[in-house]
Amino acid sequence: MSNSKQARFFESVQTNFDKAAAHTDIHPGLLNQIKVCNAVYQMNFPVKIKDSYEVIEAYRVQHSHHRLPTKGGIRFSHLVDQDEVMALAALMTYKCAIVDVPFGGAKGGVKVSPRAYTEEELERITRRYTVELIRKNFIGPSVDVPAPDYGTGEREMAWILDTYQTFKGTEIDAGGCVTGKPVRQGGINGRTEATGRGVFYGIREALLDEKILKQTGLSKGIAGKTMVIQGMGNVGSYTGLISQAEGDVKIIGLSELEGTIYSEKGIDMQAALDFRKEHGTIIGLPGTQTLERADWIAIECDILVPAALESVITIENAHRVRTKIIAEAANGPTTAAAEDILNKMGVVIIPDMFVNAGGVTVSYFEWLKNLSHMRFGRMDKRFNQNTYLNIVSTFESLTGKSITEKEKSFITKGADEVDLVRSGLEETMSNSFEQIMEVYKNKKDIGSLRNAAFVTALNKVANDYLTLGVFP
């Protein structure tokens, strides 16, 4: 991906912003305030790599301070630049608004290719980056709370937490300085799968909506639908695993850096992940056909899931798309210009700022857990279990009939943390989808789900500004 392409990512977000803004009554001055990035911190710091020192380029962008803390992942990639981080930070503001997570948007980027470094070197880079953030007050549970993104995961979040605690260990809420942590270090059960699970809920909701069914000509329900996924990292893998296990979706194509595989009969996601782990490639997975990497986009399917990077569906390849629905698991995979083509082709795009919001939703739950210093379910699980048991026992004695122990334990189960997280996420995705559909169905000429999602977000952010009294 060239630098000019990266630069177009922020432009693309701004173009989408303008299109949606035209459907609101928000004052132009306020729109300008919402649109810009409030703070951009570009840093360069030295890290000892082998026998030398490398100067590392990195960023943290806080797009909107209308709500604090700001929130957004940290990306490790050799493609990182300021425009990309600004675009991703802006998307975070709208995403948080859509799923009613009370944060402003932010994003971090470190211009490194994780594969080029040892674990020890990556730890040094991550810790040094964190120190830079602490120095400039760009991290903290009430200031700015990073999370995983492309190229980072719970390992990096644990290093960030430890570094923060080294400097600010006496702050009682220090644990809430970062989310996506390992569970034993204050993380929450269900965070790792959260974005993929949210993507699954988002697609499932869309396939229950009459308007979308009519537009796509698809039958009701997710079961039996065919899916192609680009990117088998955190988001792509869980989207595939959960869609297959809980939605009975048939995955017919998978694409990674080394190429694309296809099988009309369906690919078992777990088998593909295991194969890639063992062989370092998906090419050669038994029962699949090998295609060129770029051909993932042209596989005929019901649902196409870009889950790698931005700007992969462009004016150059949009005409090759043969799907009914694109679920934007990645951030910004479709350029604004490509979307115009896809809209004309009748393809429904479930936009990133809604469909991949599961990660930030569960990060919010994790932050709340850290501030409350207690795991979800601790206070009420046993109480609920005993209440349900009493109800069942009462019915048994009133009717003179009894149920099996297996049935009893199923009915009387109290909720564990992961049960609550999943149900909170499902509720969030379902509510947000309803809000977006209300705009989509009732606003004249709204045109696309992205416009409807953007309008939903902009109205909420504008309302927050007005409530705060910033714009009287």
- Of 229-237, 343-351, 387-395, 402-410, the segment contacting ligand NAD by CB under 6 A is 229-237
Residue 309 interacting with ligand NAD (CB under 6 A) = yes
Interface size with ligand NAD, residues (CB under 6 A): 25
Q: Site for ligand NAD (CB under 6 A): which residue of 81, 84, 144, 149?
A: 149
Q: Site for ligand NAD (CB under 6 A): which residue of 126, 234, 334, 370?
A: 234
The residue from 19, 71, 107, 381 that is catalytic is: 107
Which three-class secondary structure state does DSSP give residue 325? strand
Query: Crossing angle, helix 358-372 and helix 417-442, to 10 degrees?
Result: 130
CB 355 within 8 A of CB 203: yes
Task: Phi first, then psi: give them for residue 315, nearest 5 degrees.
Answer: -65, -20
- How far apart are the C-alpha atoms of 379 and 381, rounded to whole Å? 6
Q: How far is the CB of 154 from ligand NAD (least distance, A)?
A: 10
Of residues 60-119, which lie at the interface with ligand NAD (CB under 6 A)? Answer: 73
Does the annotation mark 107 as catalytic? Answer: yes
Using the minimum distance from each CB to ligand NAD, give the nearer residue, 150 or 433. Answer: 150
Distances, alpha carbon 6 to alpha carbons 9, 37, 39, 266, 451, in Å: 5, 17, 20, 34, 22
Using the minimum distance from each CB to ligand NAD, give the nearer residue, 176 or 359. Answer: 359
Using the minimum distance from each CB to ligand NAD, give the nearer residue, 230 or 428. Answer: 230
Closest CA to 390 of 408, 415, 364: 408
Phi and psi based region of residue 130 (left: phi greater than 0; alpha: psi -120 to 50; beta: remaining) = alpha
Q: Write out the two tokens for 30.
A: 């306020």
Of residues 318-377, which lie at the interface with ligand NAD (CB under 6 A)? Answer: 329-331, 356, 359
Sole residue written with tokens 């559909």: 437
Using the minimum distance from each CB to ligand NAD, give the nearer residue, 113 or 142. Answer: 113
Q: Site for ligand NAD (CB under 6 A): which residue of 59, 103, 150, 376?
A: 150
Distances, alpha carbon 229 to alpha carbons 134, 138, 255, in Å: 37, 35, 6
Q: Site for ligand NAD (CB under 6 A): which residue of 307, 425, 436, 457?
A: 307
Residue nearest to ligand NAD (CB): 233
Of residues 385-414, which lie at the interface with ligand NAD (CB under 6 A)? Answer: none
Using the minimum distance from each CB to ligand NAD, give the nearer residue, 101 or 235. Answer: 235
Distances, alpha carbon 13 to alpha carbons 269, 321, 456, in Å: 32, 21, 16
Of residues 182-211, which lie at the interface with ligand NAD (CB under 6 A)? Answer: 195
Q: How far is the CB of 417 from ligand NAD (least distance, A)?
A: 18
Q: How far is the CB of 98 from ligand NAD (least distance, A)?
A: 13
Q: Site for ligand NAD (CB under 6 A): which residue of 179, 226, 230, 239?
A: 230
H runs (alpha helix) in 400-416 = 405-411
Q: Site for ligand NAD (CB under 6 A): which residue of 308, 355, 439, 455?
A: 308
Using the minimum distance from each CB to ligand NAD, give the nearer residue, 202 or 377. Answer: 202
* Edge-to-edge strand ranges of the sheet holding 250-256: 289-291, 259-262, 250-256, 226-230, 301-306, 323-327, 348-350
SS3 content of the chain, % helix, strand, coil (to 5): 50, 15, 35
Q: Write out the two tokens for 317.
A: 């390849």
CB 207 within 8 A of CB 225: yes
Using the minimum distance from each CB to ligand NAD, give the nearer residue, 33 or 195. Answer: 195
Distances, alpha carbon 340 to alpha carbons 22, 182, 335, in Å: 17, 41, 9
Q: How far is the CB of 464 from ligand NAD (least distance, A)?
A: 22
Q: How far is the CB of 443 from ligand NAD (least distance, A)?
A: 26
Q: Report which DSSP code applies to 76.
A: E
CA 361, distance to chain mean position in Å, is 9
Sole residue written with tokens 């995983």: 148
Using the minimum distance from each CB to ligand NAD, give the nearer residue, 87 or 174. Answer: 87
Using the minimum distance from each CB to ligand NAD, give the nearer residue, 216 or 234. Answer: 234
Of residues 235-294, which lie at the interface with ligand NAD (CB under 6 A)? Answer: 235-236, 255-257, 293
Q: Site for ligand NAD (CB under 6 A): which residue of 72, 148, 186, 247?
A: 148
CA 3, distance to chain mean position in Å, is 24
- Of 16-24, 149-157, 394-402, 454-462, the segment contacting ligand NAD by CB under 6 A is 149-157
CB 71 within 8 A of CB 147: yes
Closest CA to 144 of 198, 116, 103: 103
- Of 36-44, 148-156, 245-253, 449-457, the segment contacting ligand NAD by CB under 6 A is 148-156
Catalytic site positions: 107
Residue ranges binding ligand NAD (CB under 6 A): 73, 148-151, 195, 230-236, 255-257, 293, 307-309, 329-331, 356, 359
